[in-house]
Amino acid sequence: MLPDNIEIAFTFDDLLLCPAASKILPSEVSLSTRLTNTIDLNAPLISAAMDSVTEHRTAIAMAREGGLGIIHKNMSIEQQAKEVERVKKSESGMIIDPITVTETHSVAEVEKIMARYKISGLPVLRNCKLVGIVTNRDLRFVSDDDLRVGDVMTSKNLVTAKVGIDLEHSKALLHEHRIEKLLIVDDNGNLSGLITIKDLEKIKKYPLAAKDDMGRLLVGAALGVGNDIEENGQKLVDAGVDIVVVDSAHGHSQGVLLAVEKIKGAFPDLPVIAGNVATGEGTEALIKAGANCVKVGVGPGSICTTRIVAGVGVPQMTAIQKAVEVASKYDVPIISDGGIKHSGELAKAIGGGAHAIMIGSLFAGTDETPGETFLYQGRTYKGYRGMGSLGAMRKGSSDRYFQSEISSQSKLVPEGIEGKVPYRGPLANVIYQLLGGLRSGMGYVGAGTIEELREKAKFVKISSSGLRESHVHDVIITKEAPNYRTA
């Protein structure tokens, strides 16, 4: 039954941030934000858990820029865990658990290990004690694959360092001895870790990278709401996952709430993001179930048809507002998920109370995302599809839309489409433009931090004429800007 006074809800294009007195330059702002009470990001960006957006390459690129990638679940749990592991092993301040071999391994076995993990050297142990190292240089001219590691490894004049050495002294040792790997040993000669020159170079190249306490890149992974959630969660934890997302189109449902309770019961210290919701009541239910962060958005995504197919949803700015009103009482952060077309919407979402933004379509066209690049009518594109599209549901995401029990694929009711997005080049370039726009917005508002933007933001409602005025008008664009597209 319709109430007498139906509430009006707003989305990004309905509102604009008001400029205010400012002493802040865009280059001076801090973009660090709180994702949970135990995880901070240096950039408030998260790549969506979609099979056309986030696998290990995207997650690595996101973390290097200070954000976070969520590995999608449209694959076997073994493959998903491997994707997580590839992110965690991609770089480190010091590798705590390096892959090792013994003197009895064959050259062929070592070469397989190196190829599998894309590494160029392996410490050699005898009863846990370091006795040598075998590298590509040791194997370069070996023609007999059956030779043992003990016959070809470097064992004399090993350059080692004691536990506790800092990165600057490590770099000096690597440079002095012209080596690429520094072996870290304890007082008993047992191997404790490994520092590589590549990792030191990455620390310098990506100073704002989002990392864990051991210097490894942060990574998240999506979990479904099935009965195997605890078993799957264990495999992800074993792979080193930092945070999991209990992923559903309708987070305010009994199955999702039970799934959150299960995963928190099994892994109390594992941070959990849960969603999606669009109301204060849904937000509170997830928080009470144990969610450490709540994801907001029902139907705002470019490839989502939920609002049309199901007739359900709340325009995104109002959904954020409703969620934040409740979540702030529990000191739980909010993620705005979906509907981002330009960098200005980042500033609006955070000004509305969100702590971070999840993005799919703007990242889907980058080099790092899964899928093939193809030409269409002279322009380059990449495929992009919603997790509610038929193709994604057939591959495994039907449980996200509570249709996992449907055996006939012809009976699936999709809530998303499959399409294409313009090719955008390296993900780092897209992130640079998005964060640059956010910095500008913070400068206009006079906010030096994400938290200040959340507190200081003031909005005005605009008309359709105001929206037209906001966009490029009365001119034909002859050269596209990297951060603005009309379609």
Do residues 195 and 181 lie in contact, with contact meaning Cβ atoms separated by under 8 Å? Answer: yes
Q: What share of the chain is helix, strand, coil (3-state, %, to 5)?
A: 35, 20, 45
400 is catalytic: yes
Distance, in Å, from the CA atom of 324 to the CA atom of 329, rounded to the nearest integer, reads 9
Measured in degrees and rounded to the nearest 5, phi and psi for residue 296 equal: -115, 130
Distance, in Å, from the CA atom of 414 to the CA atom of 407, rounded to the nearest integer, reads 14
- The DSSP code sequence of 67-110 is -EEEE--SS-HHHHHHHHHHHHTT--SSBSS---EETTSBHHHH
Number of H helices, E strands in the chain: 18, 21
Q: Catalytic one among 57, 304, 385, 439?
A: 304
Distance, in Å, from the CA atom of 69 to the CA atom of 87, rounded to the nearest integer, reads 10
Q: How far is CA 249 from CA 289, 301, 400, in A?
A: 17, 12, 6
Which of 162-192 are b and which e, b meaning 16 or more Cβ less than 10 Å from the residue's Cβ?
A: eeebeeeebbeebeeeebebbbbbeeeeebb
Residue type, 55: E
Residue type, 145: D
Do residues 328 and 279 lie in contact, with contact meaning Cβ atoms separated by under 8 Å? Answer: no
- Number of residues that this document lists for the chain: 487
18 is catalytic: no
Encoded tokens for 448:
């030096």
Packing angle, helices 344-351 and 427-445, rounded to 10: 50
Query: Which residue's structure tokens are 């009711």?
Result: 413
Count of other CB atoms within 10 angstroms of residue 452: 16
Cβ-Cβ contacts under 8 Å for 123 (sequence gap 6 or more) = 98, 100, 101, 130, 132, 133, 183, 191, 194
Residue type, 79: Q
Q: Catalytic one among 34, 64, 86, 400?
A: 400
Cβ-Cβ contacts under 8 Å for 481 (sequence gap 6 or more) = none
Residue type, 217: L
Q: So which residues are the catalytic ones? A: 304, 400
